[in-house]
Structure 1
Amino acid sequence: MSITAEDLSRFEWSRGRLEAIAYRMLGSAAEAEDVVQETFLRWQAADSDRIEVPEAWLTKVLTNLCLNQLASARARRETYVGQWLPEPLLDGDPMLGPADTVEQRESVSYAVLTLLERLSPNERAVYVLREAFEYSHREIAEILEISEASSQQLYRRAKQHIADGRARTQVDAAAARRIVDEFLAAATSGRTESIVRLLTADAISVGDGGGKVPARTSAIEGGLAVARFLRGVFRPGEAKRQYVGGRPDAYAWTVNSEPALVVVVDGAVVGIMCLELTPDGVTAVRTQANPDKLARATEIFAAIDHGEPLTTLL
């Protein structure tokens, strides 16, 4: 069925919101783009004259596509090489969606996206639609074809899981840069005690190489163990330079509402290290190094004014 200019305009008006919902649901920009495209194809094939509220129709179609994708994603991740982490998005990426409230910024933080993996698909859908996009429980119930009471119960359960998993600490861009600068100085000092002072006693380090680049297949636990690991990661060496294909530049940035170290070689983002903060220090270091999950970050990085690097590593 051909699509009218008006119908195309309606869809394009909703595209940004749909992409932001799908990214939070799936933790992958590439998969989000795919389900938004599939939503468009279904919109194109539908009889728009019989759709009373296009925004609600599109959201329902997209959400159900995401739920189907999550079901298959769980099976794929059972065979994933090493630790699975979400695809990080640099501050300024429109796919991050609304960031007007603390709840909206929190819902797209790297820490929360990681915790969302522990929720059931319906819990995840309710949390994203309610917390980040302020849908009412009546609207969510219609989208998921459940009762309002069930929507409220799923939301409470999801909120509790998220609250149990982390302590909320908000930082602005300037504070994020200071934190990353201090972290980088400690990590490159070669002194374990300098790194330990920045970490909580129960800090963890998780890396995702996707089987494409070397990464630990299990999390490192404990502040001292994490500090020793980071000291080794940042120790310079010719073999490391040859492996990454050049001298990597390190930038301080905000990624998914968290302070992060962005490592770039010849214009390509090769690693993003997100720091989860609590009042007591850095409680988690999550490093995305899988090149399949850094392509969009490279595109955004090239399109923005990223200034000068903090330093050149290795």
Structure 2
Amino acid sequence: MPSRRPALPPCCHRRRHGRTAGHARDGEVDPASARRVVEEFLAAASSRRTERLVALLTDDATAISDGAGLAEKPLWYDTPQRIAAVVRAGFKPTPAKRRFAGGTPAIHYALVNNAPAILFVIGDQVIGAVTFDITGGKIATVRGIATPTRLVRVGDAWRQHGPDTPLISRW
């Protein structure tokens, strides 16, 4: 169950802390290091290794999700253990999730608002995005976006810049 902390949309959360999604608490993140952390996160999430997910998160990590448009308000998680449990469950591919998504997505690394991210893509359509704030080599904030109306600009940018090799070609 999500915590009772007031849920803020990701844009308000960034403003409250005075930084954009791509900035870590200590300043800019090295792009190669950020990609490595995100790839480790994806590998741990895909293998469902809870301990490794917790180890990749800061002690005060938070996660927020728009609930794919299915929840009335954003979902907020505020402990590394709870975040790892939710991520582990969310990253387990199932036939029901594939039906809901409209197919089998590929997962790509990207930058969204200068933040390291992974994108779930079917064909040329972005169906989900997860962005990360990274500090000290660990993930401080995870933001999940899957509401189609919130992904329009991400999808437009994706199609404009073209895909790279997916991290996972068939999730």
Both proteins in one fold, TM over 0.5: yes
1:199 to 57, 82, 88: 57
Percent identity between the two aligned chains: 33
The question of whether the paired residues in 2 share the 8 Å contact of 1:274 and 1:285 is answered with yes
Displacement of 1:215: 8.3
Moved over 6 A (4+): none
1:286 is the counterpart of 2:143: yes
Which residue does the alignment assign to 2:122?
A: 265
Task: Give the letter aligned to residue 229 of structure 1.
Answer: V
Shift of 1:83: 5.0
Deviates more, 1:280-289 or 1:246-255: 280-289
Where do residues 202-241 of structure 1 align in structure 2 (5 Å cutoff)?
Answer: 202-209=60-67, 212-213=69-70, 217-241=74-98
List alignment gaps of at least 5 residues for structure 1. 1-81, 87-112, 119-160
Q: Which has the higher contact order (CA 8 A, sep 6+)?
A: 2
1:188 is aligned, of 31, 46, 51, to 46
Matches within 5 A, 1:289-304: 289-304=146-161
CA distance in 2, matches of 1:280, 1:182: 11
- 3-state SS, counterpart of residue 33 of structure 2: helix
| TM-score normalised over the length of structure 2 | 0.82
Aligned to 1:250, the other structure's residue is in SS state: strand
8 Å contact from structure 2 (residues 105, 170) kept in 1: yes
Cα distance in 1 for partners of 2:137, 2:37 equals 13
Match of 2:18 among 162, 168, 175: 162
In the alignment, is the contact (CA less than 8 A) between 1:209 and 1:289 conserved in 2?
yes
Long gaps (5+) in structure 2 = 1-6
- 1:301 CA drift (Å): 0.8
Distance 1:232 1:214, change over 3 A: farther
Change (3 A) 1:206 1:225: same
Larger Rg: 1
Please identify which structure carries the higher helix content: 1
Q: Which residue does 1:243 correspond to in 2? A: 100
The answer to whether the aligner puts 1:115 opposite 2:40 as a matched pair is no
